[in-house]
Amino acid sequence: MPKYPTKLPKVFLACPFDKDMDRLVTHLNKLPWKVKIASEKVTSDHLLKKIITDMKASDFAIFDISGWNPNVCLELGLARGLNKQYYIINNTSKRKDVPSDIKGIDRVDYDWDRRKNTASLYDKLKDGIFKKNFVTRAIWKKLQDVPNADKKFELALNILHACKAERIALTQQQLKVLARGLNLKKQEDFDEVVECLVKLKLFKKVPGTGAIKRLQKIFK
């Protein structure tokens, strides 16, 4: 659990360094978290200590075990030894099954060649992490009983993602851009999401403009 439940998470990502890495990182970066990539091979004691430090500084870790990469395996073992919360993902286009010693651990399978399976990676991380933890848990609790709750929650995540780097103001037109593909077309749909973020004191309305602006720092 994070030390500050009103903040968004920092995640340690360990994945194979291959042609799919940038694609995976781009996909994960659609969600409102800070991703720290284990970007070097473990070749020395100094680097091992750096990885442990980075892992300890994260709220949890994600391990892409596709192909059963040796460095990812080592880092997964470190996370277990540190009692760090973690999630396992697996690209089934590389390897459909996983080694027997971790077969019983829950994981999220995805496949870049199957659009539906790739979309499910986003949805499963959204539902399994953001609806249950951090400040986004409070957002979901406020929206879960309204019509189109899941799409409105996704819009809230898109808004947080758009503003995670700086406190920019988002206009009504920009909110509609962030809602593309979510089938949210009525003004009251946007108003409901905005009111939720305002009530949680994450954003404020900019008087006379219809825009909203982030109020507080949302990362530790």
Per residue in 125-149, pLDDT (tens digit) is: 899 889 998 889 999 999 999 999 9
Confidence band, pLDDT 50/70/90 cuts, at residue 19: confident
Angle at 132 between CA 14 and CA 35, to 5 degrees: 25
Which percentage of the chain shows pLDDT scores above 70?
A: 84
Strands 10-14 and 203-206: unpaired
Please answer whether residues 61 and 85 qualify as being in contact, where contact means their C-beta atoms are separated by less than 8 angstroms.
yes
The model's pTM is 0.82
Query: Token pair of 66, please?
Result: 């596709």
Confidence of residue 111 (pLDDT cuts 50, 70, 90): confident
* 49 CB neighbour count, 10 Å cutoff: 10
Q: Is the pLDDT of residue 35 over 70?
A: yes
- Residues facing residue 205 across a β-bridge: 212
> What mean pLDDT comes out for the span 90-115?
71
Rounded to an integer, what distance in angstroms lies between the CA atom of residue 206 and that of residue 193? 15
Q: What is the mean pLDDT of residues 66-92?
A: 88
Range from 33-37, 75-79, 97-101 carrying the lowest mean pLDDT: 97-101
Query: Which backbone phi and psi does 24 adopt, to 5 degrees?
Result: -65, -45
Average pLDDT of the residues in 169-174: 90
Residue holding tokens 């825009």? 211
Give the H/E segment covering residue 135. Answer: helix 134-143
The answer, yes or no, to whether residue 3 has pLDDT greater than 70, is no
Task: Sort strands 169-170 and 203-206 into parallel, antiparallel or unpaired.
Answer: unpaired
Q: How far is CA 31 from CA 28, 80, 136, 159, 212, in A?
A: 6, 25, 11, 10, 20
> Is the pLDDT at 123 greater than 80, yes or no?
yes
